[in-house]
C-alpha cells in the first residue's frame, strides 16, 4: 500500500513539474512574441502603405484591387508555405459627386448640413429631394405615426447611441437598425427619403456612412438614405420643435453597378503534426470610402499578417496549419467570409479555431469567444499568461462577421477586443485615417492575437486531436 501511494505521489509530482515547466516555457515564448512585435514590428509599416499609399478600399474599387495585390506580395515575402488569391464576386457601389444638403426654414433662409450617402443607397433625382421632415426615435415609431403622417415626407431617424453603455458596441447595436433597415421600412409608409443620425457617441460635424439594405423592396420604390452628423442631427431636431413645417433638401449621386470579381488574400504555415487542423486569423481588406480605413479594418488586416510573421521571426513551428485570411467585402455584403466558408466546406476542411480583428487598432483588452463551456474554460486557464500584458477580458460570446460563417461543430470563434471608447469617433467616417492609429497599441494587439493562437496551437481545444496532457495550470 505504501509503495502504491509512493508511486501516486511521484506521478503527481511529475505532472506538477511538467505543468510548471510548460507554464515557464509558454511565458517565455509569449514574451518573445511581444518583444518582437514592439521592437521589430511590421504591422505599422504595412498599415502606413495601405492607408497612405492606397487609401480607401471599397469593394470593387481600384483601391481594393491595389490592396489585394499589395498584401499578397507582402505575404509572399514572409516565406510562408503557401499564398494564394481566392476569387469572389462582390457588389460595386459608387458614391459619385459629393452630397449636398440644407435645412430651409423660410424663403431664402437655409442652413447647410453635413450628410453622406449610406452604402447601397439609390441616388436622389437630378434636382435632389426636398420635403417636410418627420422625426422618429426608431423604426418601431413608424407604425405609431402611420402613413397619413409619413407619406411624402423625409423620415429623420434620431435615436442616439446610448452613452451609458460601457461596451460601446452595445450602444451601436441598439440603434444601427435605423441605418440598415430604416429606408426599407419608411418606404412602406410612403416616405420620399431617409436621414439617419450618425452612429457616433461624439458630437461633431462628421457624418458616418455604413451599409443599408432595401430587402425585397422593388427598385422603383426605393428611396435615398443618408447619414447626418451628430451636431446637425441635434440642430435639425431642435429646429423641428419650433418649426414643424420646415423643409429638408438633399442631393446624392450614388450608383449601384453590376457585381465584379475580387479576391480574398490567403497565406498559411502548414502544421508539422496536425496539418489538417486549420486555424484562421484574419480581418477584412475592404473599407468605406470616406477615410482610408485605418481602424476599420486596416488595423485588423496588418495585425493578422503580423501573427504569421512573428511566428516566422521567433522560429516557432506550429503543430497545426495557421492561415491568415484577408477577407474582401465585409462592409457591404460579407461575400468574402461566405465564400471562404463555402470553399472550406466543399473541401471538407476542418477548422478548429478562427480569430478575427475588426474592432480597431486600440489598446487590446482581451477576447470575446464563442465556444463550449469546456473549450472556454481551457482558454480561461491561460489567463494568467496574459496578465503581465494587462489583457484581462475573456468573455463567452463573440467572434466576427467574416469568421461567423465558419461557426458550427466544434469550431471555436474568437474576436480581439480592444478598448472601444474612441472607436465610434472614427467608424465609417472621414477621420478613420492613419494618424488616428497609435503604433504601440496596434503592435500590442498583434502580439496579443499571436499569443492566443500560439496557445491554441500548442494545446488544442479538444476539437479533434487530444493535447490535454500538455495543458498547463
CA proximity to 64, closest of 80, 82, 83, 88 = 88
CA atoms within 13 Å, Cβ hemisphere of 277:
25
Rounded Cα distance between 92 and 421, Å, is 32
Find where cell 459627386 sits. Answer: 97
Grid cell listed for 232: 446637425
- Please say whether the beta carbons of 345 and 425 come within 8 A: no
Active-site residue, 255 included: no
- Say if strands 100-106 and 412-418 run parallel, antiparallel, or are unpaired: unpaired
Contacts of 236 (CB under 8 A, 6+ apart): 103, 113, 133, 135, 156, 158, 195, 228, 248
DSSP conformation letters of 340-393: HHHHHHHTT-EEEEEEE--S-SS-EEEEEEE--HHHHHHHHTTHHHHGGGT--E
| β partners of residue 111 | 103
- What angle do helix axes 299-314 and 62-77 make, rounded to 10 degrees? 10
Per the residue annotation, which of 330, 331, 356, 443 is the catalytic one? 330
Rounded Cα distance between 63 and 60, Å, is 8
Residues carrying an active site annotation? 330
Amino acid at each position: 500500500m505504501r509503495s502504491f501511494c509512493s508511486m501516486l505521489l511521484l506521478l503527481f509530482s511529475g505532472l506538477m513539474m511538467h505543468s510548471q515547466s510548460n507554464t515557464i516555457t509558454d511565458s517565455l515564448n509569449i514574451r518573445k512574441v511581444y518583444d518582437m512585435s514592439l521592437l521589430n514590428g511590421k504591422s505599422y509599416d504595412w498599415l502606413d502603405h495601405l492607408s497612405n499609399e492606397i487609401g480607401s478600399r471599397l469593394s470593387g474599387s481600384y483601391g481594393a484591387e491595389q490592396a489585394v495585390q499589395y498584401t499578397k506580395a507582402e505575404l509572399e515575402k514572409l516565406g510562408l508555405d503557401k499564398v494564394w488569391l481566392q476569387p469572389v464576386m462582390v457588389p460595386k457601389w459608387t458614391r459619385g459627386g459629393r452630397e449636398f444638403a440644407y435645412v430651409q426654414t423660410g424663403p431664402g433662409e437655409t442652413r447647410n448640413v453635413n450628410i453622406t450617402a449610406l452604402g447601397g443607397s439609390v441616388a436622389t433625382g437630378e434636382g435632389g429631394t426636398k420635403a417636410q421632415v418627420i422625426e422618429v426615435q426608431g423604426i418601431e415609431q413608424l407604425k405609431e405615426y402611420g402613413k397619413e403622417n409619413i407619406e411624402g415626407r423625409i423620415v429623420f431617424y434620431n435615436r442616439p447611441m446610448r452613452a451609458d453603455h460601457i461596451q460601446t458596441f452595445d450602444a451601436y447595436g441598439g440603434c444601427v437598425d435605423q441605418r440598415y433597415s430604416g429606408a426599407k421600412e419608411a418606404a412602406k409608409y410612403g416616405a420620399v427619403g431617409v436621414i439617419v443620425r450618425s452612429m457616433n457617441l461624439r458630437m461633431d460635424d462628421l457624418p458616418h456612412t455604413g451599409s443599408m439594405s432595401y430587402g425585397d423592396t422593388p427598385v422603383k420604390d426605393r428611396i435615398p438614405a443618408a447619414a447626418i452628423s451628430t451636431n446637425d442631427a441635434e440642430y435639425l431636431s431642435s429646429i423641428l420643435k419650433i418649426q414643424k413645417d420646415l423643409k429638408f433638401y438633399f442631393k446624392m449621386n450614388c450608383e449601384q453597378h453590376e457585381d465584379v470579381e475580387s479576391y480574398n488574400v490567403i497565406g498559411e504555415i502548414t502544421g508539422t503534426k496536425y496539418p489538417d487542423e486549420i486555424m484562421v486569423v484574419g480581418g477584412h481588406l475592404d473599407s468605406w470610402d470616406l477615410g482610408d480605413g485605418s481602424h476599420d479594418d486596416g488595423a485588423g488586416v496588418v495585425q493578422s499578417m503580423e501573427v504569421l510573421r512573428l511566428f516566422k521571426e521567433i522560429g516557432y513551428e506550429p503543430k497545426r496549419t495557421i492561415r491568415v485570411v484577408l477577407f474582401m467585402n465585409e462592409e457591404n455584403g460579407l461575400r468574402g467570409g461566405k465564400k471562404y466558408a463555402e470553399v472550406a466546406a466543399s473541401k471538407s476542411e476542418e477548422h478548429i479555431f478562427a480569430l478575427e480583428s475588426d474592432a480597431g487598432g486600440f489598446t487590446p483588452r482581451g477576447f470575446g469567444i464563442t465556444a463550449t463551456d469546456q473549450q472556454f474554460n481551457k482558454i480561461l486557464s491561460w489567463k494568467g499568461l496574459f496578465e503581465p500584458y494587462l489583457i484581462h477580458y475573456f468573455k463567452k460570446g463573440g467572434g466576427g462577421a467574416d469568421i461567423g460563417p465558419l461557426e458550427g461543430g466544434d469550431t471555436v470563434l474568437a474576436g480581439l477586443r480592444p478598448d472601444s471608447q474612441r472607436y465610434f469617433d472614427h467608424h465609417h467616417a472621414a477621420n478613420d485615417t492613419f494618424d488616428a492609429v497609435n503604433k504601440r497599441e496596434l503592435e500590442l494587439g498583434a502580439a496579443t492575437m499571436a499569443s492566443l493562437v500560439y496557445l491554441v496551437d500548442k494545446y488544442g481545444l479538444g476539437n479533434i486531436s487530444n493535447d490535454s496532457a500538455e495543458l498547463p495550470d
